[in-house]
Structure 1
Amino acid sequence: MNLPLGIAGLIAGTLVISESKAERAARLDLVGVVLAAAGMLALVLPLTQGHELGWPAWTFASMAASLPLLAGFVLWERRLLRRGGSPLVVLSLFSRRSFAAGQSVQLLFGLASGVFFLAWTLYLQLGLGWSPLKAGLSGLPLSAAMMAGAGLSMQVLVPRFGRTVLQAGALLAAAGMLLFLYLAQENGAQIALWQAIVPLIPMGLGMGLIIAPLTNLILSEVPHEHAGSASGLTSTTIQLGQAVGVALSSLVFFGRLGDGSPAEQAQQMPHAFSGSLWYVAAVFTAAFALLYALPRTAGTKTTSPHTTDKQLHEPAPVA
């Protein structure tokens, strides 16, 4: 599936995106890459494998070791910037409130996706006994709702209402999870196809309202020379959130599933899936609260990509 889409994107990018180059070439921050990768591996690997292996001592030692590795990464990035180098992450960007808040929301978005999509896939196929084809097709309304929400937010809603649209999306996604929770608890393994699809529509709409404009809002106040670093960090943040979300599934999903036989686990699947939905709804609610850190008029037609923090907090002039 990804290969033809990637080729189409490559062709479209060649035709549509104009060439741009930095005034001077940046050198690869190899030390930063090694420290960041080692720190994240030390954190995520034990979270992923710990439950299955019975939480041996090395898992706790690894998580503890991730702290000095990540601290060393921060110190190295600061030192490299002071020396006029090209750090992997420009830490000064986090002093901008919209950038820091946006990255936090991206992390939460990835976290919710990591927990939900793994549990949802296993619930449909192992808990309900659906075929991979039926399970996949039941997710098409989710994709369609995300595309619709993204189009509405970018073209119509955010230019008029700003931050409120993203917050409405977070609450809509949380409401979809609570509806799915109710239906899964009420119907168990007898849930109908339409009942498994309906909650995905508000969730998809809500996710589309958030994720489409969020990247633009994160990058809107980033200086041109740091656009590459900021864009790469934005992509990495959501992937990191997904990795941690999948890792946390060992606690919030597989912990409820238990260690019985496949038949026993299949019976517990609705219970385990319902339990994980509480966490997903809570994460979307936390994203709603974090979005208050964005300027209220962020993304509206009264602001521009070069608007300063001071200007964003000033009232718009009356025409």
Structure 2
Amino acid sequence: MDRVIRLTFNQLSVKTCAELLQEFQQLERFKKVDKVEFSGVGGRDVYNITAPFIDEGHPVVVGRVEERHSEFSQVFFFSCTDDIWSPREHTHTYNLQDPFMTHVHGELIFGGVEIITAADNPNMIISWVTQFYRGINIDSLCHFASGPGTMKDIRMIELQDGRVGVFTRPQGKKGGRGQIGFTIIPSLADLNEATFLDAELLQDQFVPEEWGGANEVHLLKNGWVGVLGHIACFDDQKNKHYYSMVFGLNPYTMERSPLKIIAVRDDFPEGPEKRPDLEDVIFSGGLIRKEHGRVELSVGVSDAEAYRIELPDPFLEYEAQ
């Protein structure tokens, strides 16, 4: 990979959630919000959904299904009838959190986060691992890779030159509370543990007290990638605050744009939350670029509900680079 690093949009400087939120609140924008309704899950919550995608000619959404007071979730594939999403018939469910999907070299790539419990206490979560599956469609998915322990928000994208871009999110000594890394591999056959561990960190995205990650990546018409993700922080009472954000990246030069927030919890109606500290949380699941400079963003809200919001296309400015 070309290691030359350049800055774009003049000089990048790291900004806090509060500073990005202030910039966001000064924007004028037209938005349209709809709640995503689900059935057939036994009264459990469905949240952190993907954007709809087509499988075998039919729209599908993948969502995290969970009891309100539990972290032990399943991932369901849903199909839609009369604006209600219900579990897809004869489809495997996965004991995962926070599903994601993309297409690489003609294959469906699906994944989620598997939680690891203590050997002597099945109710104690001690770690987590991102798991990856691939196939020509939902029904042919097979496991093909695992991320390192405690690394979430690993995402892949087929680049303009046919290689595969991999976004990572290390924590701890290398990544603090969570930084975004990026690397390029020739193909999925070259994916290994070093891919995840050695990816170069994108500098000046988060202050040390805050964190973020990539949730979905889009190939733009000029070869850049538009990254949909989240930026997050704690307040003084240890409540979490998660915001949907985007940035643009030239994968070959590492030139990139500043982060910008595109949606916040206040964009959506009041509703239940999983816990009081998660009230001000939205989690970017995926977006669909539409005509007339609009996108439809799918999000999980307060770890309890799922919504879609139509917004101005945040990637258009990156395609002008």
With normalisation by structure 1, the TM-score equals 0.27
With normalisation by structure 2, the TM-score equals 0.27
Structure with higher Rg: it is 1
Give the structure with the larger strand fraction.
Answer: 2
Asked which structure has the greater RCO (Cα within 8 Å, sep 6+), the reply is 1
Give the structure with the larger helix fraction.
Answer: 1
